[in-house]
Amino acid sequence: MTSNSSISPSSEASVLQARDITLRFGGVTALADVGIDVRDNELLAIIGPNGAGKSSLMNVLSGFYQPQKGSVHYRGQDIKGRAVHEIARDGVVRTFQGTHLFSNMSVIDNILVGRYSQMRSSMG
């Protein structure tokens, strides 16, 4: 995935911002100078063919991968290099493509399992 400019044209402050992200696996460059901005209440889709770098970008944004170059900020704080569980606790999480759901639970309950760390009060 290659991008030389930010995706967001708006001047509204970004909640999640990545700049100049470069990620290499040996001799393969998965991401080259990628930038992205996500604003509050914005829904953003990352699309592309297999091997385009979508999962690699998500893994950098959520802290699973450390890029060789670039910065990642969430709500103004640099999160690059922090532990994955700390980044998740702050609100940057990812989900996996797998189809392994809790079959005895509803769709909403399956989604809420991933949101438990962000919930401020009980549902009962």
Give the range of the structural domain holding residue 113, as residue numbers without chain letter. Answer: 14-118
Instruction: Report the CATH number that the domain containing residue 30 is assigned in CATH.
Output: 3.40.50.300
The gap between the terminal CA atoms of the chain, to the nearest Å, is 44
Number of structural domains found in the chain: 1
Whole-prediction pTM value? 0.71
In order along its 124 residues, the chain shows pLDDT tens digits of 554 444 444 457 899 999 999 999 999 999 999 999 999 988 888 899 999 999 999 999 999 999 999 999 999 999 988 999 999 888 888 876 666 677 888 888 877 776 665 555 555 5
In a domain, 9, yes or no: no
In a domain, 6, yes or no: no
Whether residue 9 contacts residue 54, with contact meaning beta carbons closer than 8 Å, is answered with no
In a domain, 4, yes or no: no
User: How many residues are present in the chain?
Assistant: 124
Burial tier of 25 (Cβ tally within 10 Å: 0-12, 13-18, 19+): exposed
